[in-house]
Amino acid sequence: MRLERIRDMLVLHIAAGKSIAFRKEWVEQLRALPYEQYGDFLKDTIYPALTEEERKLWHKSQISNRALHAALQRRVYDP
Say yes or no to pLDDT of 76 above 50.
no
Instruction: Please report which residue ranges of 1-79 form alpha helices under DSSP H.
Output: 24-32, 38-41, 47-49, 52-61, 65-74
pLDDT at position 8: 65
Q: How would residue 2 be classed by pLDDT, with cut points 50, 70 and 90?
A: confident
Query: Are the beta carbons of 53 and 45 closer than 8 angstroms?
Result: no
Name the DSSP letter for residue 50.
Answer: S
Average pLDDT, the chain: 81
Q: How far apart are CA 58 and CA 41, in angstroms?
A: 14
Q: What is the mean pLDDT of residues 47-59?
A: 89
